[in-house]
Structures are given as structure tokens and as C-alpha cells.
Structure 1
């Protein structure tokens, strides 16, 4: 039975890679068609909707295959919220953005610049208006402008996946504090818990999970930056909130219960 289970997981992994390869190609084609024909804001909105639908279909596929469960909590608080805002999750695993984008409409992501050239990702990222994180000064400028125009940004404050030696989260990058204080946009922390190390820092893409993956993703209360707060102080306050939130959740019902 164990061998059959691992063969099934290997099949799901191949199926997932095929889904991403095919989806990446279709997004490149969609960008070539939509970008010349529509205004930038319209094509970007369509790109964000298509990407959200593609990610939701991917999660439905994995759920149908029985390899993961995910519980979303508190996201109804975003219903009816308008204007620019920042979604700021912790980052335990490589696929965290897929879950968040699938759940929250209209997100532009601050993305690692190298991923903008990834053949699986670049079509959807460009069409949805994702912002590369380098050069840093341009990222800050584009992010602040986007928020002032009412866009929603997905920003992982750790800058990379959480390292195991860190205390629940890495040190936060200073960019989120600069963006939040300069734009006056609220920052909504998101707490991602998982029972598995799958796709965490150092986990290769080809390595199969060792158990069924269970996630719990919780939306926290928004944080605003007062006019007299520095970017560094806001960054540290946000990290303290994220640490406290994860500790509180870990003391509650577990994701592998």
C-alpha cells in the first residue's frame, strides 16, 4: 500500500507540473492577445481574474487527488473593503502565493525578479501586473503608486521562505515598512500554518510529501501606520504582530488534528 501511495503521489506531481506548463503557455498567449487590444488596467484586471481562476482550479485538482486540505479563516472581513491595501503573509512554503491569490481577488504580487523570467510563471505574472522586487527603488516606487491608485498588493515581508532556524518567521525586509508608511495603505497580516515541511526552504520540487498536507490560513486584523511612525518601527511592529498571531494560533487547534 505504501508503494501504491508513493506512485500515486508521483503521478499527482507529474500532473501538477503538466498543469503549470500548460497554464504558463496559455497565459503567454493571453498576454499577446489582450495587451495590444485593451487598456492596461482592463487587461490587468482580466489577468488577475484568470490567474485566480487558474489557481483555484489547481487547488481543486489537488483536493480531488486527496493530497491536501486547506482551511481559510476570517477572509470575510475583506468583503466590501475598497482602496489600496497590502496582504502580508508569513512564508513557510513555496506555494503560499497560490493559496492567497486563489482566495483574494485582484491581487498584484511583489515577486522575486528572477521568477518574472520563469516560463511557468512569467505569462501570468506579467498579465496580472506583478511587480519585480529588483531594482529595489523601482519596486518601491511602483508599489506605492499602485496602492495610491487603489490596487491590492501581495507582499511577503520575509522576502524568502522561512528558515527553520528562525523563530517562526525570518526578519522582515524593510521594504514593506517604507511602502506602508509612504502610501498610508493598511497592512493585513495573514498567518499560514502547515503540518508538513513540503516545499519549505531546502525542499526540492521533485521530492514527494511524507504525509497528507494540511494548511490553515487565517486573516488577521489590519495595521495602519500613523504619520509619526518610522518605516523601521512599523516593520518591527508588523513582525511582532505576526509572531504573536502565529503563537496564539499554534496554542489553539492544530492543523494535523
Structure 2
């Protein structure tokens, strides 16, 4: 029987190779969607709304396949808690952001998902096809960004937002921006928090994909009960002050939940 250290080294080597293979498959899949699938979709479905709906469904199943591949190869394990709460329409979903693949997880399990994407993804050859076909919201819309988000929710889409604006830094300090609160306040929209716990940490901010942890990663994704917006909009405060108070509440909420999972 091989010594424990040798087995651990073999396991880590396998997970490194499997991680590289998974991300290669992800990139290749994005290219194929851009070059083959979505052009065919554009020719076959002329109605824009139906075409977007089908594009988002294709992305959802593709991302679920990617998660399934990483799970099958032993790169990670995951558990979704409260998944039934996602079987609704017009949800404003707020999640913490410890890992690069948080977006992939949420897009894989949320039907008719919409999200705000960085402008660079619109021109990246591996992501431009899915992003454009699904008509996700470009973060460079300026003053129109809030209106685009509110309109998406009114249309029944489930809008995914990471209120930190980027992945949580290595020190673990959560610092929320006010964008999500402004959407909730102006759109009179309840919020559905999602707590993502990743242990050990992987694919964090500034960490390249090949720096994998010493052991297999476990993801726990918990959909929490809704936060009702009414208590923040009936105080007589201006929208600016209400958004500030809501942001402070959400920051305390996510910090507390993070400590609970620690």
C-alpha cells in the first residue's frame, strides 16, 4: 500500500489535471456556442424574447454540465440548500462572492437568470457568444444600468447580483457597494440572499486556477429566506438614505452569515 503522502500527491496531481481539463472544456464550449449554437438559434427563432429565453436555457444546462463534470472528476463536491426557493420569477438574488465559479453555480441552478456582466466579457472570444445571445446587462450602461436591472425584474427574470462588485479579497473582508440596494429600493423589490461557502478556499481574487488547494473543495450554497423591502421604504427616508441603510443591513447580514459558516 502506498504511503499517505504519496496518495495525497497523486490525488492533488489528478485534481490539478482535472481542473485544467475542466476549464479547457469550458472555454471550448463557449467557443462552440458562439460559432455554432447561437448562430443557428438566431436563424431558427426570429422572435427576440423567445430567442433570449432559449439562449439562457442553453447556458443554464451548459453550466450545469460543467459543474457536473467537475463533480464527476473529483475537483469539487457541492450541496444546494433551499433550492425550491429559486422556483419563482422576478427574484433579486444577492450572493457573496468567494470564488471565480460562483456565477457558474448560480447560473446553473437559477431558471431564466439575468446578470450584470463586465464589458470585457462582451468581447472575450470564450464568453461573447453566450453573453450577447442571452442579452445580459452590460455594466457600462452608466445611468441606464439601474433602470435596466429594474426592468429585467419586472419582466420576470431572476437577477443575480454580487453586491461586493468583485470577489471577496483574500483577507475575507466583505465590503458591499450600494448598487444592489438602489435596485431594491427604487424597484420596491424584496431580496433573496444566497450564502456561498467554499472550503477550502479556491479560485479566489488574484489566485490563478492552477493554485489548487491541498484537498477537494466543498461548496455549500444556501438560499435564505427573503428580506422584505417594506421596512426600508416606509421610514420616510429619501431613496438615497434608504439605500444606505439597506446596504449597511446587508453588509452586517453577510458578515454574520459568513461567521456562522466559519
- The question of a shared fold, defined as TM-score above 0.5 by the shorter chain, is answered with yes
| Distance across 1 between alignment mates of 2:134 and 2:59 | 7
Match of 2:91 in 1: 85
Residue 134 of structure 1 deviates from its aligned partner by: 1.7
Listed one character per residue, the Cα deviations across residues 181-224 of structure 1 (whole Å, up to 9, x for unaligned) are 11122211110111122100121123233210011110111123
User: Of 16, 20, 42, which aligns to 1:35?
Assistant: 42
Unaligned runs of 5+ in 2: 1-5
Deviations 1:105-160 (A, max 9, x none): 11111112222222222211222221121233232221111112221111000000
Which structure 2 residues correspond to residues 43-82 of structure 1 after superposition, within 5 A? 43-79=51-87, 81-82=88-89
Aligned pair 1:249/2:261, yes or no? yes
The answer as to whether partners of 1:223 and 1:238 remain within 8 angstroms in 2 is no
Structure 1 match to 2:24: 18
| Counterpart secondary structure, 1:209 | coil
CA contact (8 A) 1:27 1:127 kept: no
CA distance in 1, matches of 2:80, 2:102: 13
Q: What are the within-5 Å matches in structure 2 for residues 105-116 of structure 1? A: 105-116=111-122
Q: Structure 1 stretch 93-102 or stretch 12-21: which is displaced more?
A: 12-21
Q: In structure 1, how many angstroms separate the alpha carbons of the residues matched to 2:161 and 2:139?
A: 10
Residue 15 of structure 2: aligned partner: 9
Paired position in structure 2 for 1:128: 134
- Determine the C-alpha separation between the residues in 2 that align with 1:215 and 1:48: 24
* Whole-Å separation in 1 of the counterparts to 2:102 and 2:86: 19
> What is the distance in 2 between the residues matched to 1:163 and 1:21?
25
Structure 1 residue runs without a partner (length 5+): 251-257
- DSSP 3-state at the match of 1:102: helix
Secondary structure in structure 2 of the residue aligned to 1:165: coil
Tell me which of 176, 187, 193 is aligned to 2:197.
193
SS at match of 1:207: coil
Identify the residue that residue 236 of structure 1 maps to in structure 2. 248
- Note the alpha carbon deviations across 1:214-257, whole angstroms, 9 max, x for none: 1111011112322336222222222222222222333xxxxxxx
> Can you list the C-alpha shifts for 1:22-69, whole angstroms capped at 9, x where unaligned?
211122132222235332211111111111111111111111111211
* Match 1:212 to one of 203, 210, 216: 216
C-alpha displacement of 1:7: 3.4
Deviations 1:79-98 (A, max 9, x none): 3x23x221111000111011
Question: For the residues of structure 2 that align with 1:38 and 1:209, how far apart are their CA atoms?
Answer: 46
Matched, 1:174 2:178: yes
Q: Indicate conservation of the 8 Å contact 1:91/1:162, yes or no.
A: yes
Distance 2:170 2:178 in 1: 21
Return 45-54 or 203-212, whichever deviates more: 203-212
Q: Equivalent residues in 2 for 1:158-169 (5 A)? A: 158-167=164-173, 169=174
